[in-house]
Copies of this chain bind each other. A is one copy, B any other.
Amino acid sequence: MESSDARLANRAAVLNELLSRDTATRVTIAVRTGLSKATVSRVTDDLIQEGLVRENGPLPGSGPGRQALALSIAGEDKYVCGVDLGGSNTRFLVTDVAGRVRAWAREATPRTATTAETARWLTDRVTALVGSGELHVTAIGLPGAVHPITQSVRTVPNLPQVAGTAFTETVAAALPGTTIFDNDANVALLGEVTAGAARGRGTAVMISIGTGLGASVYLDGRLLTGRTGAVGEFGVLPYADGTLESVMSGAGMVDRARRLGFEVRDAVQIFDRGEPQAVLRDATAALLSMVTTLKVAYEPEVVVLGGGVAPRLAARLDALSWLLDDPTPEPPEIALSTLGDPAGAIGALVAALHCHYRAFDIHTPDLGGVATTLLRSLPGEESHVPAPSA
């Protein structure tokens, strides 16, 4: 199938318009995209033919004149899935291709399982959540560097069974449709850029402080992964007599506290107690150093702090008021993740949607509208599996 360049751009424009508003007609699309009514009509007809768009009933008109036909994204039974496979918990999110939520879940990750068992567990959960729907794309964020070409996974201290290509290949083989993998920090940032703290920003950086330490970079409208997917592994950089990760990651802080003779369960506890002070002070200083490096490296508009420890760290940052003596003319905003823990699953879902439409040569730069309506359908419950349909 070969089509002209302009045609593809117009298809994308029409479809993006449909994705961002929940109700649209041919005329409103023409006005918003700047295309002529004729072109919109033709493109729309094509999209309907291809099954990407559906003509709903007539829209009740407000004034005189013919009733407009409501258009919407078709494919209530075509599903995409976003997964955030974490070191301790895993979140699943299933929507149709318009981003309408179908099911979600949050479960403990089987930490001691083998590669095959973990893969089986994950695909079983996805299959169960998808139910009778037709799964088109699954995007999985996981705590390791994912090679963008080979999909091989590296450096996974938290979840060693997914390293290499065995896990990704097994999962991809067991799931219908396309399966893509990416670093969990990357998909979390994609979530924040699409619908969270970095919404609408052209360039943003996210520091994810969980068990480990990760950074991810969104530059001029694209996630920066690097040739091997290792971009953002700032945790390995030397700091003091260790690495940044050893000082400011959750595991690193707990480790240091224990060596000082403190009994601690997790990093959050350290913050809540305010002890050991040395660990807290060093972690804050390390974060400061990391933000400085990120600033020089990318000049982001905003630095998003994410992960379980982030809210506590942010409070300390404010106390230091380090932003005030920043000599940079236009310093980045510092923001907390607004999506919180589900950011990864939401970002993975956004990646899955991008992937789905890319297969139709449709570039979907802004899924902000989709993601926002999606957010409203996600209450705090742990999981939701739809009743089996007839």
Which residues of B have CB within 8 Å of A292?
236-238
Which residues of B have CB within 8 Å of A232?
296
Looking at A109-117, A223-231, A366-374, the stretch in contact with chain B turns out to be A223-231
Choice from B203, B217, B228 contacting A329 with Cβ under 8 Å: B228
CB nearest to A154 among chain B residues = B329
> For the complex, what is the distance from the CA of A237 to the CA of B327, rounded to whole Å?
13
A299 proximal to B (CB < 8 A) = yes
Q: Closest CB of chain B to A12's CB: distance in Å? A: 13
Q: Mark A172-198, 1 if CB is under 8 A from B, else 0.
A: 000000000000000000000000000
Which residues of B have CB within 8 Å of A328?
228, 230
Q: Closest CB of chain B to A368's CB: distance in Å? A: 21
> For the complex, what is the distance from the CA of A159 to the CA of B35, rounded to whole Å?
51
Q: Closest CB of chain B to A5's CB: distance in Å? A: 6
Q: Are A226 and B299 in contact (CB under 8 A)?
A: yes
Q: Are A297 and B228 in contact (CB under 8 A)?
A: no
A330 proximal to B (CB < 8 A) = yes
CB nearest to A222 among chain B residues = B220
Q: A289-B238, A296-B237 are in contact. Are A330 and B219 (CB under 8 A)?
A: no
Q: Closest CB of chain B to A282's CB: distance in Å? A: 14
Which residues of B have CB within 8 Å of A77?
none
Q: Closest CB of chain B to A340's CB: distance in Å? A: 26
Q: Are A298 and B226 in contact (CB under 8 A)?
A: yes
Which residues of B have CB within 8 Å of A299?
226-228, 230-231
The CB with the most chain B CB atoms within 10 A, among A4, A154, A217, A237, is that of: A237
A357 proximal to B (CB < 8 A) = no
A271 proximal to B (CB < 8 A) = no
Q: Are A219 and B228 in contact (CB under 8 A)?
A: no
A293 proximal to B (CB < 8 A) = yes
A233 proximal to B (CB < 8 A) = yes
Q: Are B228 and A296 in contact (CB under 8 A)?
A: no
A301 proximal to B (CB < 8 A) = yes
CB nearest to A6 among chain B residues = B5
> For the complex, what is the distance from the CA of A12 to the CA of B236, rounded to whole Å?
44
Which residues of B have CB within 8 Å of A295?
230
Which residues of B have CB within 8 Å of A121?
none
Which residues of B have CB within 8 Å of A9?
5
Q: A4-B6, A6-B6, A228-B328 are in contact. Are A296 and B219 (CB under 8 A)?
A: no
> For the complex, what is the distance from the CA of A237 to the CA of B292, rounded to whole Å?
7
> For the complex, what is the distance from the CA of A238 to the CA of B292, rounded to whole Å?
9
The CB with the most chain B CB atoms within 10 A, among A217, A233, A238, A296, is that of: A296
Which residues of B have CB within 8 Å of A236?
292, 296
Which residues of B have CB within 8 Å of A293?
237, 293, 297
Q: Mark A339-363, 1 if CB is under 8 A from B, else 0.
A: 0000000000000000000000000
Write 20 A-B pairs (CB below 8 A) sorted by A numbering.
Answer: A4-B6, A226-B299, A227-B301, A228-B299, A228-B329, A228-B330, A230-B299, A230-B328, A231-B296, A231-B297, A231-B298, A234-B296, A237-B292, A237-B293, A237-B296, A238-B289, A238-B292, A293-B293, A297-B297, A297-B298
Binding site for B on A (CB under 8 A): 4-6, 9, 154, 203, 217, 219, 224, 226-228, 230-234, 236-238, 289, 292-293, 295-299, 301, 328-330
Closest 7 interchain pairs by CB? A226-B299, A297-B297, A227-B299, A231-B299, A228-B330, A233-B296, A234-B296
Q: A226-B298, A226-B299, A293-B297 known; 6 other A-B pairs, CB under 8 Å?
A: A154-B329, A227-B301, A230-B329, A231-B296, A237-B296, A238-B292
